Every structure is written in C-alpha cells, then in structure tokens.
Chain A
Amino acid sequence: MPESMGRSAGIFAIACVCGIASGMFGIGGGVLLVPLLGLLFGFSQHRAQGTSLVALIPPTGVLALMAYAKEGFVSWRTGLLLIPGVFLGGIAGGILAKKINPRKMRQVFAGILVLLGVWQMLDAWWR
C-alpha cells in the first residue's frame, strides 16, 4: 500500500512538471508525459500513450488559457478552424498506431522534434 501511494505521488509530481511545460509552451504536455511514464514508471509505450490521452481529455489547460486570453494572446478563429481536423485525424491516428511499427515511428518523431527544436532556437537567438 505505501508503495502504491508513493507511485501515485510520483506520478502526480511528474504531471505537475508536465503541466508547467504545458502552460509555458502552450502544449498538451503529452509529449513529455508519455516518455516520462515509460522511463520512470515502467509503462509500456501503448499504455503510456493511452494514459496520456486520459490526462488530455479534461480541459487541464483552462486556467492557462484564461491567463493567455487576458493578455489577448489567443486567435479564436484559427483555433476553431483547427479543431475539427485534429479530432478526425486523432481517430485515424489511433487506428494507424495499431498497424505500423511503433518503435520506428517514435524514432522518426523524436528526430523531427530535435530538428524542430534546433530550428526554433536558431531562429530565435542566432539572427
């Protein structure tokens, strides 16, 4: 029992860290939550992804969104146009995830993230 309490507390603490990243960078936080659940708590990849999706269902970003909206940092029209596509695409992706090699896919995605990251840093600080 104390062991599972510790695990729960650990998961909660990690989620807080992911939440801070979520509010700071305007993201869902799943991109950090998925590998951390796997690396620290031994979740299999599919289980980590499914669990991360649970965490993304309630509007966890609502407090952060309100803070951005107060400063005028929300483009409501662009957001409304993006929502239907993301929803439909999500279903397609969920089905696809069962069919293709998940390891290869994640390695490609990790590579893309690193490239995007370097690009953003250069764009911001090098000019």
Chain B
Amino acid sequence: MTFIILLLGLGVGVLVGLLGIGGGVVLVPAMVYFLHLDQHLAQGTSLFILLPPIGLGALREYWKQGQVDWHAGILCALGMLFGAYAGSLIALPIPSRNLQGLFGCFLLLAGFLLWRKTQIDTSAPGSGQENVRA
C-alpha cells in the first residue's frame, strides 16, 4: 500500500511539472478511487500535500526559460489565499456525495476551458508573445 502511494505521488508530480498545475485535481479522484478515502478526507489531504512548495523544482525549469510573470503570480497567490478559505467554508457543510458530484462538474468546466485554450492557440498562432513551438 505504501509503495502504491509513493508511486501515485510520482505520477501526479509529472503532471504538475508538465501542466503547471498543483496536482490536486488529479490527486483528489486518485485518493477517492485507489485509496478509498472519503471525498472530504481526500480534499483535506490534498490541501495538506499542496502546502509545501512541491512545484518549486518545476518552477525553476520555467524560470530558466523566462516563462514566469512574477507580478501576476504574486497577485494570484494573494487572491487564492483568501479565496481558498472562503471555498473551504462553502465545502465543509456539503454532504460528501454532493461534493463529489460538484467536483465532477468542476472537472468538466476545467477540461472545457483547457480545450478552448488549445483551440484559440491554433486559430491565432502569432497573437501571443510566444510562437516558438517544437
């Protein structure tokens, strides 16, 4: 069991670096299905995992390429600090079952937005600052 958990962490970490995300979006369902944690417990544990700067190694790689907007990043961190507290107050009284369903809705929305972003990248390849592509 311990080994499975370690391996799961490694797999999620690769996604963190690849996509610039925290990893919670994959961690939560993984903990619910593979480790059989309750939805609230999985979410709380995911927040705990995200507490240390696990993305630091990945950030360094982006920074070396000059792909970091520090000003915007710090603003986002501030907004998320307060937003996250508000979000937890909303989530805690919701029954686990409904919370799991809402989580599903959220994944659909996030997937849709990510997909839309890739569509825009094709229709206007030169509009961003970056148009170098392997």
Interfacial residues of chain B within 72-108, with CB under 8 A of chain A in the complex: 72-92, 97-98, 100-108
Number of interface residues of B (CB under 8 A): 110
**What are the residues of chain A within 8 A of B105 when measuring CB–CB?**
117, 121
**What are the residues of chain B within 8 A of A39 when measuring CB–CB?**
113, 116-117, 120
B41 and A52: CB pair below 8 A? Answer: no
* Known contacts A16-B83, A34-B20, A83-B49; is-contact A49 B92 (Cβ 8 Å): no
Interfacial residues of chain A within 40-86, with CB under 8 A of chain B in the complex: 41-65, 67-69, 71, 73-76, 78-79, 81-86
Nearest chain-B residue to A114 (Cβ)? Answer: B111
A95 and B48: CB pair below 8 A? Answer: no
B108 and A113: CB pair below 8 A? Answer: yes
A49 and B19: CB pair below 8 A? Answer: yes
Kindly count the residue-residue contacts between A and B in the assembled complex, taking CB atoms under 8 Å apart.
Answer: 469
Q: Does B123 contact A (CB under 8 A)?
A: no
Nearest chain-B residue to A82 (Cβ)? Answer: B9
A15 and B20: CB pair below 8 A? Answer: no
Interfacial residues of chain B within 7-32, with CB under 8 A of chain A in the complex: 7-25, 27-29, 31
**What are the residues of chain A within 8 A of B116 when measuring CB–CB?**
35, 39
Number of interface residues of A (CB under 8 A): 107
Report B125 CB to chain A, min CB distance, Å.
10
**What are the residues of chain A within 8 A of B63 when measuring CB–CB?**
50
Nearest chain-B residue to A106 (Cβ)? Answer: B118
**With the chains together, A99 CA to B14 CA distance in Å?**
13
A121 and B101: CB pair below 8 A? Answer: yes
* Known contacts A19-B82, A75-B37; is-contact A68 B77 (Cβ 8 Å): no
B28 and A25: CB pair below 8 A? Answer: yes
**With the chains together, A96 CA to B111 CA distance in Å?**
21
Per-residue interface assignment for chain B, residues 47 to 58, with 1 indicating a CB less than 8 Å from any chain A CB and 0 otherwise: 111111111111
**With the chains together, A13 CA to B60 CA distance in Å?**
26
- A residues with a Cβ closer than 8 A to B are 8, 11-39, 41-65, 67-69, 71, 73-76, 78-79, 81-103, 105-107, 109-114, 116-125
| Given A27-B28, A65-B88, A93-B19; 16 other pairs, CB 8 A cutoff | A8-B72, A16-B82, A22-B84, A27-B50, A32-B109, A36-B113, A47-B67, A57-B53, A89-B14, A89-B15, A93-B15, A93-B58, A98-B134, A99-B134, A114-B115, A117-B105
